[in-house]
Amino acid sequence: MATNAELFARAQQVIPGGVNSPVRSFRSVGGTPYFVDRAQGPYVWDVEGRRYIDYVQSYGPTILGHAHKAVIEAVAQAAAQGTSYGAPTEREVLLAETLCSRVPSMAWARLTSSGTEAAMSAIRLARGATGRNKVIKFAGCYHGHSDALLAAGGSGVANQGLADSAGVTPGAVADTVVVPYNQIPEVDETVAVVAVEPVAANMGVVAPEPGFLEGLREACDSAGALLLFDEVITGFRLAPGGATEWFGVEPDVWCFGKVVGGGLPIGVFGGRAEYMEHLAPLGGVYQAGTLSGNPLATAAGLATLEQLNADAYRRLTAIASRLADGMTQAAAAVGVDCVAPRVGSLLGVFFCEKAPANFCEAKAAAENGVYSRVFHRLLSDGVAFAPGPYEALFVSLAHTDEHIDTTIEAFTQALASEVDGG
């Protein structure tokens, strides 16, 4: 079997940079990516047979752990009946019903094939429903790679050492206004929508300060603009009703992805009926997708959501809390500045004195070089964090206290090496 280095060399001959998503590259940490051969529960194995306790977890979708029995059985059953029809299916209805029943005030949902599709469609919907052009977004928040939303887009862009993307014309972002996270912007009658990650998870993890989300709701109401929660990451990771339930703030439009597909490609955008009725075929806002509502993805999503009850969220939060507390205590014991901001089961890690409140502060912490050294030391001890300092850490229901304790021990050793300069 080929080694990681051999596969990476081959990949670079036929795939730009050797990866099909820049977040998988090791550009910001250095070295050669490991190529995954298989995964089970909290683990992934690379092609050389090394096993890692995995905190990437496909960047969030595998909240039950890899290859969960219920998900695999649901996908296998669906695949045996055909993989795509170009016609409606019952599971599309079931998934939309499940989402709308869980999220307060979300009346209708439209399925897509990715979070990027969901976000760009939600922005188009907001513009069509309001008749306005401007979009306000926050520096460090990522809403997919559509042109208008890539400005100051956080992790995927920032990990490559870029501010924005080449190929995005000035005209494409002319109506996009970028403001600092955790600051309430001026919203006037030209603004169609304010788009925000309710917990910023693409610049590490940056929590909303008290009053921030409430202030956005009030500002949008005053100006007649829509409020969009991008919950591609936070959706159904924080609570059964997502960030809306967690924070008690209701936007007008939502985006979901990751968890709702159970590890298969999916995106969802939804909203109040008065806005969603602008979508074709009811209204004049066009959106479509050949594989939208794919039978495999809807089967995996339904199987995943069925497992996520109140007890599951308590367990996820306890697992994340144990990891966050263990990392910060280990850092304090050896005198390394480290914070592990956590909201529910979503957590990050920064090597600095104080948890960042915005992208500028997150950037300063990410660029001090500590993360890349700790990352490689952990990897050599069989613990896989994301290969970039702007990413969240994702725990799953398959992680146990034993896995967390092993991780904390490896983290302690990595920090000891950092102090020793080894």
55 belongs to the catalytic site: no
Which ranges of 191-350 does DSSP label H, i.e. alpha helix?
212-223, 242-247, 273-276, 295-307, 310-334
Residue 194 has φ and ψ, to the nearest 5°, of -110, 115
Distance CA 198, CA 295 (A): 29
230 belongs to the catalytic site: yes
What do you get for the CA distance between the two ends of the chain, in Å? 32
Catalytic pick among 43, 142, 275, 313: 142
Cis status of the peptide bond prior to 281, with omega within 30 of 0: yes
Catalytic pick among 46, 54, 230, 252: 230
Catalytic pick among 134, 137, 258, 363: 258
Burial class (CB in 10 A: 0-12, 13-18, 19+), 369: exposed
Distance CA 254, CA 72 (A): 28
Distance CA 132, CA 380 (A): 52
The angle, 0 to 180 degrees and rounded to 10, between the axes of the packed helices 401-420 and 310-334 is 20
405 belongs to the catalytic site: no
Which positions are catalytic? 142, 230, 258
